[in-house]
Amino acid sequence: MKKLIEFTLNGRKVRVEVEPNELLLNVLREKLCLTGTKYACGIGECGACTVLVDGEAVLSCLTLAIEVDGKNVVTIEGLAKDGKLDVIQEAFLDEGAVQCGYCIPGFILTAKALLKENPSPTEDEIREYIKGNLCRCTGYVNIVRAIKRASELIKEGEK
């Protein structure tokens, strides 16, 4: 039985009709046309489908869309403001952290949650936090460096 749900998506209210068995991932990609969120393993091991729900990094491939009724969802499309990239996105470009790019939206949103929680993480803390995100190009060194750089850029911006 279809149900009309309403939630905040990247700062704007959206309303969409969903079946109980529809996954958030597919509703974002197919009904709301936001294809930045990626499907890969589908079983919670790779982190490619990571989105922020009420500020927390969660897996949209294991979340029923119906469960985000009334919540606040942020996808990779919601990070840039007024045509300007988020500082984490800038840092990923600066450090050459993007190879094929498929895992990057998940990595950037996980990094967003990390830096909100812990603005100056150590390298170990970064690696621990992103262990649920896999990069098949194995570009981890530059990804870790980019998150470190983002944390420094945020600090500089605050001065």
Partner 1 sequence: MDINKVNTKILPVSFDYYAPSSIEELLSILKREEEVVFLAGGTDLLVKMKQRIVEPKVVVSLNRISELSFIEEKEDGLHIGAVTKLRAIEKSDVVREKFPVLYWGVRAIGSVQIRNMGTIGGNLCNASPAADSAPPLMVLNAELKTIGVEGERRIPINEFFVGPGKTVLKSKELLAEIKVPYLPPNSGTSFIKIARTSMDIAKINVAVMVRLENGRIGECRIALGAVAPTPMRARKAEEFLTGKEVTDENLRRAGEIVSKEIRPITDIRSTAEYRREVSKVLTYDALRIAIREASKE
Here the tokens at position 95 are 């450090």
Separation CA 149–CA 120 (nearest Å): 10
Phi, psi of 76 (to 5 degrees): -60, -30
**Binding status of residue 59 toward partner 1 by CB under 8 A:** yes
Among 67, 77, 90, 125, binds partner 1 (CB under 8 A): 67
Of 69, 66, 55, residue with least CA distance to 117: 55
Of 58, 34, 67, 45, residue with least CA distance to 112: 58
**Binding status of residue 95 toward partner 1 by CB under 8 A:** no
**Binding status of residue 6 toward partner 1 by CB under 8 A:** no
**Binding status of residue 66 toward partner 1 by CB under 8 A:** yes
Burial 12-21 (b: 16+ CB within 10 A, else e): eeeebebeee
Among 16, 32, 61, 91, binds partner 1 (CB under 8 A): 61
Of 130, 135, 70, 52, residue with least CA distance to 101: 135
**Binding status of residue 151 toward partner 1 by CB under 8 A:** no
Tell me the β-bridge partners of 81.
Answer: 84
CB of 38 to partner 1, least distance (A): 11
Nearer to partner 1, 6 or 56 (CB): 56
**Binding status of residue 57 toward partner 1 by CB under 8 A:** yes
**Binding status of residue 92 toward partner 1 by CB under 8 A:** no
Residues in 98-117 that interact with partner 1 by CB under 8 A:
110, 113-114
Residues that bind partner 1 (CB under 8 A): 1, 3, 19-23, 25-26, 39, 41-45, 47, 50, 56-59, 61-64, 66-67, 69, 110, 113-114, 129, 131-133
